[in-house]
Amino acid sequence: MKAVVVHGAGDLRIDHLPDPVPGAGEVLIAMEWGGICGSDLAYWRHGGSGTAVLKHPMVLGHEVAGRIVRLGTGVAGFEAGQPVTVHPARTVGDGALPDRIAGRTNLHPRVRYFGSAAFDPHTDGGFSEFRAVRAEQLRPLPDGVSTRHGALAEPLAVALHAVHRAGDLRGRHVLVNGAGPIGSLVVAAAKLRGAATVVAADINDSSLAVARALGADELRNTARGDLLPDDVELVFEASGAPAALGPVLRATARGGTLVQVGNLPGTAAPAVLGDLVTREITWIGSYRFVDEISDALRAMRDGLDVTPLITHTFDLDQAAEALAVAADRTSGSSKVLLRLGQDPAGGPR
């Protein structure tokens, strides 16, 4: 089979790997679609993502969907041809979490994630024609949700988790700073959960257009001199840019809440944080998700249209071009999808 494999910084290849065989408790998936994420770009550009550093070649991709081809022994409740997406996280070990984080499996100290070099050996992702997956990681796609949209369940789950961390959004006024794919999905999730108004801010008009299509009531282009609104009671910081923290904290109302969903650098970076104290702001972290991927699928089933997020599609063989477009802020890209498989007639599955 073909797979998108990163061998080191700047070294992306389409490798031919053996077709996987599902073991006990596993299911073989013929992959159809994969969404390119910031961590995929980091492995390609820098040879690592955060503190995870490549030591060996690794298949990229954790936003994926496809159809079941074969069941391994001991698997029940699934059938060949069934469309599915994948919860990319699998906890390692059976240690109980402390009571303060009971059930929050995203905070488990050891988690293997699709397309992650956090462990050695690394965990291959799903940018390949086939992938064997533990049955408990599968999430069936509801009727009406295509595999193309199913590949977006993972980033939508990240956004829903961030909104969940903020509490009840009904009737609240919200600012989302950063309108990349996650920020735009936070806009959609906030409106889904009943926010009265959502202002989206970014430095790129094309990103803001996606946020508008996903429900933003007002747009601010800070590169053109637009200021962030004042005294916003609930703010989501989705850019991950340390330079944005000062203005975002200043925009947060006294006694307000700031949810940090954008990944901040794993190294020291200057930031203006004084307002965190003087305005008594509650600053909440949001990391991946627990099982909001199931909520994401229900939301799409019930009518949430994520189509505006998809700006570009490429075939698997064009993965290098696809990553370059996703990494280029001037390309107008938001979510870039890879078409990972072909049916026997030659068309997309």
Question: Residue 100 contacts by C-beta under 8 Å, 6 or more apart in sequence?
Answer: none
Number of domains observed in the structure of the chain: 2
Look at residue 344 and tell me whether its pLDDT is greater than 50.
no
Print the domain residue range for 118: 2-152+306-339
C-alpha 235: how far from chain center: 19
The CATH number of residue 272's host domain is 3.40.50.720
By mean pLDDT, which of 150-154, 223-227, 256-260, 343-347 is the weakest? 343-347
The CATH number of residue 314's host domain is 3.90.180.10
Question: Tell me: the pLDDT tens digits for 57-68?
Answer: 999 999 999 999
C-alpha 128: how far from chain center: 18
Q: So what's the pLDDT on residue 342?
A: 62
Residue 255 amino acid letter: G
Asked if 314 and 226 sit in the same domain, the reply is: no
Quick check: 31 and 131 in contact, CB under 8 A? yes
pTM for the full model? 0.95
Closest CA to 338 of 319, 310, 324, 320: 319
Asked if 148 and 162 sit in the same domain, the reply is: no
* 28 located within any domain: yes
Question: Tell me: the pLDDT tens digits for 78-106?
Answer: 999 999 999 999 999 877 899 999 999 99
Asked if 49 and 74 sit in the same domain, the reply is: yes
What's the whole-number mean pLDDT along residues 45-70?
96
Look at residue 347 and tell me whether its pLDDT is greater than 90.
no
What's the whole-number mean pLDDT along residues 182-197?
98
DSSP state of 92: -
CB atoms within 10 A of CB 106: 19
Structure token pair of residue 326: 């996703």
Q: How far is CA 36 from CA 55, 249, 340, in A?
A: 21, 30, 12
pLDDT-based confidence at 346, cuts 50/70/90? very low
* 297 located within any domain: no
pLDDT-based confidence at 199, cuts 50/70/90? very high
Angle CA(12)–CA(16)–CA(21) in degrees, nearest 5?
Answer: 120
Asked if 41 and 127 sit in the same domain, the reply is: yes
Q: Report the distance separating Cα 175 and Cα 50, nearest Å.
A: 26
Asked if 22 and 145 sit in the same domain, the reply is: yes
Give me Rg for the CA atoms of the chain: 20
Q: Report the distance separating Cα 328 and Cα 322, nearest Å.
A: 10
Q: Report the distance separating Cα 218 and Cα 200, nearest Å.
A: 6
Structure token pair of residue 320: 């290098």
Look at residue 266 and tell me whether its pLDDT is greater than 90.
no
Look at residue 174 and tell me whether its pLDDT is greater than 50.
yes
Quick check: 9 and 47 in contact, CB under 8 A? yes
Asked if 141 and 163 sit in the same domain, the reply is: no
